[in-house]
Amino acid sequence: MTTAIEKQFWFVVGSQHLYGEEALAEVKANAQKMTDALNQSGLLPYPLVLQDLAVSADKITSIMKEVNYRDEVAGIITWMHTFSPAKMWIRGTKMLQKPLLHLATQYNESIPWATIDMDFMNLNQAAHGDREYGFINARLNKQNKVVVGYWERPEVQQQIADWMDVAVAYNESFGIKVARFGDNMRNVGVTEGDKVEAQIQFGWTVDYYGIGDLVEYVNAVTEPEIDQLMAEYAELYEFDYGSNSQESWEASVRVQAGYEIAIKRFLDEKGYSAFTSNFEDLHGMKQLPGLAVQRLMAQGYGFAGEGDWKTAALDRLMKIMSHNQNTGFMEDYTYEMAAGQEAILQSHMLEVDPSLASSKPKVVVSPLGIGDREDPARLVFDGKAGDGVVVSMMDHGTHYKLLINEVTAFEPTEPAPHLPVARVLWTVKPNFQDGIKAWIENGGGHHTVVSLNLTTDQIVSYAKLVNLEYVVIK
Ligand code: MN
């Protein structure tokens, strides 16, 4: 499951015919130089392609129609080189169905006081054009992004890059398909939700499968296929037999290797990019998938436990947005409450995403402590340090709501020799008491997706695009 997606963005430069053909030729030449420089910056994750100048309502409308129907175009970036009367933009902007970034910049960085005349003023009037154009976007409630600053500056280019990742995730959101192996965990509230509304609002397809459908795939996996995967594990991970005999340890890990192959085959054949499991629903399975799930998360599949399809889809979405870097499913577990050291220990019963690992993971076989299956293998590691966001989506009955908390993850200093699961530690913003209180008061879930690569601004940009209520705790 790849998170490398082939997309491009169109660069649409606003002007009008009032200034004559010579001025328009200069606008076009400057726009081409800007496009080339942005593409060569090395910061943009997707290419920018310059389009014909937006000089009439018909031209603008025709560009927007093309943007809508071309799958390879993830969104548009607009720039007002000159004044561009914005009634021309109404029809096209209204029909635009993809993300829009208004780049408030100017070709020249400084005002050339020694030579400035009215020709220069007419040609370089972004400050004037930005306001006319911005008014129409605001009036149309486009929820577009506005980036302000000189186009050659890396911090401006980085804002464009971050938005491109959001725009691609938004486009891909409509193709996210979640396979649910079993239903939600019994009696749990926050993992429930309206699947029809999720498909209408976010584009997520959420399908149920009985665990027997997966067991068929598990039974079809061959021993040589498992041998091959075991060799890959030996390359990537430390093998920790613990108190197990090597023979029983290997037998247990081989079960998980079979699950990895089976689940991947199932998802790929049927076009799913995310999935859920439930430890209460494992008829015909010897173990709860643990190592298998961790391996698939590292490959870019979205996942959440206990049938939590909302978090699984959100995980896939944020993996696309972050290029699958330092982003994964998480669960709040245990507080550290000692004064001055307050933190939250994050983990799950098995399924912690190795994209967050700071150390070489160990393959450990240990009892689960929940349910009635054999001891499952899992990857055990410590999480990376870094600033990031933790995100949870809840169905509040009348609407979905997104909760975003800024966190600072840090590497644990104390060993935990008896803890047979991966662990991530973080502090929450603005502080332990207020951050946790706000999370609980807003009804934030215990299942989350954390990313040490994404920003609050990116998550908020996505929420706006899908008209999703959000609360930021920072
Ligand atoms: Mn859980």
> What's the gap in Å between 418 CA and the centre of ligand 1?
20
Per-residue pLDDT at 130: 97
> What's the gap in Å between 331 CA and the centre of ligand 1?
6
What is the per-residue pLDDT across 249-268, written as a single tens digit (0 to 9) for each? 999 999 999 999 999 999 99
> What's the gap in Å between 304 CA and the centre of ligand 1?
7
Per-residue pLDDT at 461: 98
Interatomic CA distance for residues 384 and 24, integer angstroms: 51
The token pair at 25 is 């030729």
> What's the gap in Å between 180 CA and the centre of ligand 1?
15
> What's the gap in Å between 101 CA and the centre of ligand 1?
37
> What's the gap in Å between 125 CA and the centre of ligand 1?
55
> What's the gap in Å between 279 CA and the centre of ligand 1?
10
Residue 371's pLDDT band (cuts 50, 70, 90): confident
What are the sequence ranges of the domains in the chain?
8-173, 177-473
| CA distances in angstroms from 473 to 143, 414, 432, listed in the order given | 21, 28, 11
pLDDT averaged over every residue in the chain:
96
Is residue 28 over pLDDT 90? yes
Residue 6's pLDDT band (cuts 50, 70, 90): very high
The token pair at 186 is 């019994």
| CA distances in angstroms from 446 to 186, 390, 392, 450, 472, listed in the order given | 15, 11, 8, 12, 16
Interatomic CA distance for residues 257 and 249, integer angstroms: 12
What is the per-residue pLDDT across 395-432, written as a single tens digit (0 to 9) for each? 999 999 999 999 999 999 999 999 999 999 999 999 99
CATH number of this structure's domain 177-473, picked from the four choices 3.30.930.10, 3.40.50.2000, 3.40.275.10, 2.160.10.10: 3.40.275.10
Which residue carries 């629903």 as its tokens?
281
Residue 4's pLDDT band (cuts 50, 70, 90): confident
With 0-12 / 13-18 / 19 or more C-beta atoms within 10 angstroms meaning exposed / middle / buried, residue 415 is exposed
> What's the gap in Å between 371 CA and the centre of ligand 1?
13
Amino acid residing at 196: V
Q: At what angle do helices 309-321 and 195-202 cross, to 10 degrees?
A: 20
> What's the gap in Å between 95 CA and the centre of ligand 1?
41
> What's the gap in Å between 306 CA and the centre of ligand 1?
6
> What's the gap in Å between 186 CA and the centre of ligand 1?
12
Is residue 2 over pLDDT 80? no
317 contact partners, CB below 8 Å, separation of at least 6: 169, 172, 173, 176, 202, 302, 462
> What's the gap in Å between 120 CA and the centre of ligand 1?
62
Per-residue pLDDT at 203: 98
> What's the gap in Å between 389 CA and the centre of ligand 1?
19
The token pair at 79 is 């720039």
Q: What percent of the chain has pLDDT over 70?
A: 99
With 0-12 / 13-18 / 19 or more C-beta atoms within 10 angstroms meaning exposed / middle / buried, residue 360 is exposed
> What's the gap in Å between 427 CA and the centre of ligand 1?
20
Mean pLDDT for 125-145 is 97
> What's the gap in Å between 149 CA and the centre of ligand 1?
43
Q: How many helices (H) and strands (E) does the chain have?
A: 14, 19
Mean pLDDT for 144-171 is 98
Per-residue pLDDT at 1: 65
Q: Are 272 and 179 in contact (CB under 8 A)?
A: yes
Q: Are 288 and 366 in contact (CB under 8 A)?
A: no
Residue 74's pLDDT band (cuts 50, 70, 90): very high
DSSP state of 312: H
Interatomic CA distance for residues 153 and 361, integer angstroms: 39
> What's the gap in Å between 308 CA and the centre of ligand 1?
8
> What's the gap in Å between 305 CA and the centre of ligand 1?
5
The token pair at 200 is 């209408």
Is residue 383 over pLDDT 90? yes
Answer whether 8-173 and 177-473 agree in fold.
no
> What's the gap in Å between 313 CA and the centre of ligand 1?
15
> What's the gap in Å between 189 CA and the centre of ligand 1?
12
Interatomic CA distance for residues 410 and 408, integer angstroms: 7
DSSP state of 269: H
Is residue 46 over pLDDT 70? yes
> What's the gap in Å between 445 CA and the centre of ligand 1?
10
Which residue carries 């070709």 as its tokens?
107
Q: Which residues of 258-286 are buried (b: 16+ CB within 10 A; e: fewer)?
A: bbbbbbbbbbeeeebbbbbbbbbbbeebb
CATH number of this structure's domain 8-173, picked from the four choices 3.40.190.170, 3.30.930.10, 3.30.70.360, 3.40.50.10940: 3.40.50.10940
Per-residue pLDDT at 379: 98
> What's the gap in Å between 276 CA and the centre of ligand 1?
11
Single out the residue of 329, 322, 326 nearest to residue 276, CA to CA: 329
Amino acid residing at 141: N
212 contact partners, CB below 8 Å, separation of at least 6: 283, 284
Q: Are 291 and 236 in contact (CB under 8 A)?
A: no
What string of DSSP letters covers 436-459?
HHHHHHTT--SEEEEESS--HHHH
The token pair at 159 is 């804002």
Assign residue 370 a region (left: φ > 0; alpha: ψ between -120 and 50; beta: otherwise): beta
